[in-house]
Amino acid sequence: MSAYYPQQEASLLSKRALVFVIILVIHAIVIYAFASGLAKSGQRYLQSILQTNIIQTEKQKDLPPPPPPVDLKEKPPVQVIAPDINISVPVDVPPPITNVVKAVAAPPPPVVVRPPPPGTPVQVTYRPDISNYYPESARREGQEGRVIVKICVNATGKIDSVDVATGSGFEDLDQAALKVAKAYRFKPATSEGKPVSVCPTLPVKFELHAGAG
């Protein structure tokens, strides 16, 4: 019996020692892992806290101070600005006294309006002998008569046309009167000093016992 117990105790001690070593190793591993993880997490936590504090500090520096609280119970005073009113009062200034000498203008000379020269009728410058134009047939038959000839004289004094206005009753005497009228010469009529065309009437009288009519 005495030989059995020392060996059994020795084996138990070795087993306990091994278990103790294993426990120590496990604790060491756990402590190391915990220490390393806690250090990293603590470092990260400290960095986040520092960054947060720095950001908050910068934000507080950038932001302006908050306005003072407004008391809603008291109404702010209303400031009324009076407009600038400029009133100009006219001042009656008497006109300056000046001695004005009005020059008396001489009256304009009277305008002399000369009336236009009176018109003149056509004038005969040559009168033919009617006996030279008396038809021989009319003489033999004893025909006599008076012919009124319309004769148109232009502004140059020339005859434009001759027509029988009133006949004598004898064709030969009427044709002879036209020849007499064409043989006349005239000075043209005038109106306001200018020659104009006119158409007067010319009486031609044929008589057997008279030279001309």
Backbone angles phi, psi at 138, to 5 degrees: -70, -35
Sequence-ordered alpha helix ranges (H) in 96-170: 136-140
Q: Is residue 101 part of a domain?
A: no
The pLDDT value given to residue 100:
55
* 47-76: pLDDT as tens digits: 666 566 555 555 555 556 666 666 555 555
Task: Name, of 17-21, 61-65, 89-93, 94-98, the range with top average pLDDT.
Answer: 17-21
- Same domain? For 202 and 127 the reply is yes
The pLDDT value given to residue 153:
96
The pLDDT value given to residue 114:
77
Q: Is residue 20 part of a domain?
A: yes
Average pLDDT over the chain, rounded to whole?
A: 77
The pLDDT value given to residue 73:
57
Q: How many domains does the chain have?
A: 2
Pairing of strands 189-191, 194-196: antiparallel
Q: Is residue 10 part of a domain?
A: yes
Final residue in a domain of this structure, among 26, 57, 88: 57
Q: Is residue 196 part of a domain?
A: yes
Q: Is residue 185 part of a domain?
A: yes
Q: Is residue 43 part of a domain?
A: yes
* 126-149: pLDDT as tens digits: 999 999 999 999 999 999 999 999
Q: Is the pTM of this model over 0.75?
A: no
Q: The domain that contains 148 carries what CATH number?
A: 3.30.2420.10
CB 210 within 8 A of CB 154: no
Final residue in a domain of this structure, among 57, 72, 95: 57
The pLDDT value given to residue 157:
92
Final residue in a domain of this structure, among 10, 40, 57: 57
Query: Exposed/middle/buried for 120, CB within 10 Å: 0-12, 13-18, 19+?
Result: middle
- Same domain? For 127 and 202 the reply is yes
Which helix or strand (DSSP H or E) is residue 14 part of? helix 4-62
- The boundaries of the domain holding residue 170 are 123-206
Q: Please, how many CA atoms are within 13 Å of residue 50, restricted to the half-sphere of its CB?
A: 6
- Same domain? For 127 and 201 the reply is yes
Q: Is residue 37 part of a domain?
A: yes
Report the alpha-carbon distance of residue 9 to residue 197 in Å, rounded.
187
Q: Is residue 13 part of a domain?
A: yes
**Nearest-5° angle of CA 48, CA 54, CA 60?**
135
